[in-house]
Amino acid sequence: MIRVLVATDKPFAPIAVDGIRKIVEGAGYELVLLEKYTSQSDFVRAVANVEAVIIRSDKADREVIEAGKNLKIIVRAGAGYDNIDLAAATAHNVVAMNTPGQNSNAVAELAIGMMIYMARNLYNGSSGTELKGKKIGIHAFGNVGFLVGKLAKGFGMEVYAYDPFIPAAEIEKQGVKAVNSADELYSTCQYISLHIPANEKTKKSINFELLSKMPKGATLVNTARKEVIDEEGLMKIFKERSDFKYLSDIEPDCKNDLVAGFSGRFFFTPKKMGAQTAEANINAGIAAAKQIVEFFEKGVTTYKVN
Ligand SMILES: NC(=O)c1ccc[n+]([C@@H]2O[C@H](COP(=O)([O-])OP(=O)(O)OC[C@H]3O[C@@H](n4cnc5c(N)ncnc54)[C@H](O)[C@@H]3O)[C@@H](O)[C@H]2O)c1
């Protein structure tokens, strides 16, 4: 019998677990739950006897993959999959997948919500500004970026986007102006919303040089990954430009420096919250379970990332 481990340090909502159970048991497989585990070794032990694993932000590192002697597939319920050691997975013939698009709306709403919060001076009682009429640059026009663009248009913003992997014509079809470089995007837009993945090319790529091109009243919104920010550059721009603001779904490593010197110009969520909605939780978990069943039953590998 195929056993599917759900290894979630931060568990899915009970309703999502029920949905996953229905799909897994409906296919005749067994569901194994490992929730709120206290050490990585619990995960390593639990993976020893299973064929499939569903994770959230949990680390499927080399040790986990090597311990999974029967393991065939790991699905990250969510978009980013930098918590899976892809090289180790490939070396052990384990298919790694994500569930793109399932939590995009939740993340997009958070990005817009944080923008309004900052535009209204963190609701401190003083007069703020509106999003309407401002230019927003979407840095990477994937699932989340596309939705941020759509919502921003609803607020009357002028939407620009840069994504070298999507033809300009496709971006423009959405009523969004496609630009040819990150430099052009940052020089044009007062708001930048980041949606690039964290990889060798993008890590620390949002640096002082790029940020300093942004027009007066600049606000950077990061619901992607903290690793894409060059935090030294970020601190430099905070010191040089009193108009610069930063919003982040991820607590930055430079948190203490921001708290100490730049109150009112930044906000970050206490923990990663972009995908933390009931809807996203359910969608991503259920998509992961369906992908596992389709993989074993029909060999479908649509969202394979390794
Ligand atoms: N805060 C959260 O909870 C949360 C939730 C979901 C996703 N995320 C993050 O947001 C990122 C975007 O998610 P998504 O679902 O839109 O992913 P996606 O895969 O749908 O889109 C990523 C886009 O980035 C583009 N891209 C890749 N490299 C680029 C580069 N160097 N420059 C410009 N564009 C580039 C790709 O062409 C693609 O269109 C994820 O990688 C993840 O890190 C965070």
What spacing in Å lies between the alpha carbon of 198 and ligand 1's midpoint?
Answer: 8
What spacing in Å lies between the alpha carbon of 114 and ligand 1's midpoint?
Answer: 18
Q: Is the CB of 196 under 6 A from ligand 1?
A: yes
Range 31-46 average pLDDT: 97
* pLDDT level of residue 255 (50, 70, 90 thresholds): very high
Q: Is the CB of 202 under 6 A from ligand 1?
A: yes
At 41 the pLDDT is: 97
Query: What letter represents residue 292's amino acid?
Result: I
Each residue's pLDDT tens digit, 2-12: 999 999 999 99
How would you class 27 by CB atoms within 10 Å of its CB: exposed for 0-12, middle for 13-18, buried for 19 or more? middle
At 276 the pLDDT is: 87
Mean pLDDT of the chain: 96
At 75 the pLDDT is: 98
* pLDDT level of residue 250 (50, 70, 90 thresholds): confident
With a pLDDT cut of 70, the percent of the chain lying above it is 100
Atom in ligand 1 nearest the alpha carbon of residue 101: 15
At 79 the pLDDT is: 86
Task: Out of 97, 98, 151, 163, give the residue to mutate to test ligand 1, the one with the largest number of ligand atoms within 8 Å of its CB.
Answer: 163
Which is it for the CA torsion 19, 24, 25, 31, positive or negative?
negative
Region of poorest pLDDT, from 91-95, 185-189, 249-253: 249-253
Q: In angstroms, rounded to a whole number, what is the distance separating the alpha carbons of residues 14 and 19?
A: 9
Atom in ligand 1 nearest the alpha carbon of residue 144: 16
What spacing in Å lies between the alpha carbon of 235 and ligand 1's midpoint?
Answer: 24
Task: Out of 56, 165, 250, give the residue to mutate to test ligand 1, the one with the largest number of ligand atoms within 8 Å of its CB.
Answer: 165
Atom in ligand 1 nearest the alpha carbon of residue 223: 1
User: In Å, what is the CA distance from 249 to each residue of 108, 123, 274?
Assistant: 11, 18, 6
Q: Is the CB of 281 under 6 A from ligand 1?
A: no
Q: Is the CB of 103 under 6 A from ligand 1?
A: yes
Q: Is the CB of 43 under 6 A from ligand 1?
A: no
Residue pair 176/167 in contact (Cβ under 8 Å)? The answer is no
- Burial code (b: 16+ CB inside 10 Å, e: under 16) for 39-54 equals eeeebbebbeebbbbb
Each residue's pLDDT tens digit, 204-228: 999 999 999 999 999 999 999 999 9
Each residue's pLDDT tens digit, 58-88: 999 999 999 999 999 999 999 889 999 999 9
Q: Which residues have CB under 8 Å from 299's CB, separation 6+?
A: none
Query: How does DSSP classify residue 263?
Result: T
Each residue's pLDDT tens digit, 144-167: 999 999 999 999 999 999 999 999
At 136 the pLDDT is: 98
At 133 the pLDDT is: 98
Alpha helices in the chain (DSSP H): 14-26, 40-46, 62-67, 86-91, 104-119, 143-154, 168-173, 182-188, 208-211, 231-240, 255-261, 278-298
Q: Is the CB of 132 under 6 A from ligand 1?
A: no
Q: What pTM, to 2 d.p., does this model score?
A: 0.85
Atom 3 in ligand 1: which residue has the minimum CA distance?
274
Dihedral in degrees, nearest 10, Cα atoms 200, 201, 206, 212: 140
DSSP string, 163-178: -TTS-HHHHHHTT-EE
Task: Give strand pairing partners of 178.
Answer: 161
Each residue's pLDDT tens digit, 83-135: 999 999 999 999 999 999 999 999 999 999 999 999 999 999 999 999 999 99
At 197 the pLDDT is: 93
Q: Is the CB of 275 under 6 A from ligand 1?
A: yes
At 275 the pLDDT is: 87
